[in-house]
Amino acid sequence: MIAELKNHSIALHYLSVLRDERTDISDFRKATIVLTQALVLEASRQLELSAESIKTPLEKIEGQKIKGKLVFVPILRAGLGMLDAALDILPNAAVGYIGLERDEQTAIAHCYYSKMPNLSDVQKVFLLDPMLATGGSASQSIVKLKELGAKNVSMVSIVAAPEGLQHLQELHPDVDIFTASIDRELDVNRYILPGLGDFGDRLFGTN
């Protein structure tokens, strides 16, 4: 399943902030926070709940709370820009890390770092990467998560290319994908168009 925030006024506003080449680091980070939180709220819609008796200031009722363990896994380094915002929504979630570096010539990524909590008894793993371009990094990360015992993975990306979405659906049809925008295409250098440039460089002020 692919979910896109295409009719969400706040998402459309902050997407424009991210895309604008004039946006400074502070506003870029703020837009990333808002969009991440909107996406995590959407991706969390189907989490399993358990009934729990609680007492309001006036009476006892049967409430509902999220059942089981959750894990956020940002793909380094750009995914780090989404992590704190995601934890603001689900502060009890554990955190794992996957470090991937893309070869600019082949667009193939290799893993240089991985650190995970136990994934075998987790209700949901949210994989965080702001740009889903070819889908290679995401697919490689999902393979690793599944090898480590993850049974329910969702991909959360701010901007996605059709090519990456197709690649991910073909290899991992069980993984739901949540994005703020499905962009037009990849260019010859495998960058998303219209995109927003290099997310990591704009987020961290590097070049």
- Determine which one of 24, 121, 187, 201 is catalytic: 201
Q: Are 136 and 150 in contact (CB under 8 A)?
A: no
Instruction: Kindly give, in sequence order, each residue whose CB lies less than 8 Å from that of residue 159, ignoring residues fewer than 6 positions away.
Output: 15, 18, 130, 131, 132, 179, 180, 181, 183, 192, 195, 196
Q: Which of 27, 102, 176, 190 is catalytic?
A: 102
The C-alpha atoms of residue 134 and residue 156 are separated, in whole angstroms, by: 15
- Active-site option among 27, 84, 176, 198: 198
Residue 130's SS3 state is coil
Q: Which of 22, 45, 106, 206 is catalytic?
A: 106
> Which DSSP letter does residue 54 get?
E
Annotation marks residue 102 as catalytic: yes
**Catalytic-residue membership of 201:** yes
Number of separate helices (H) and strands (E) present in the chain: 6, 13
Residues 165, 136 contacting (CB under 8 angstroms): no
Q: Annotated active-site positions, please?
A: 102, 106, 198, 201
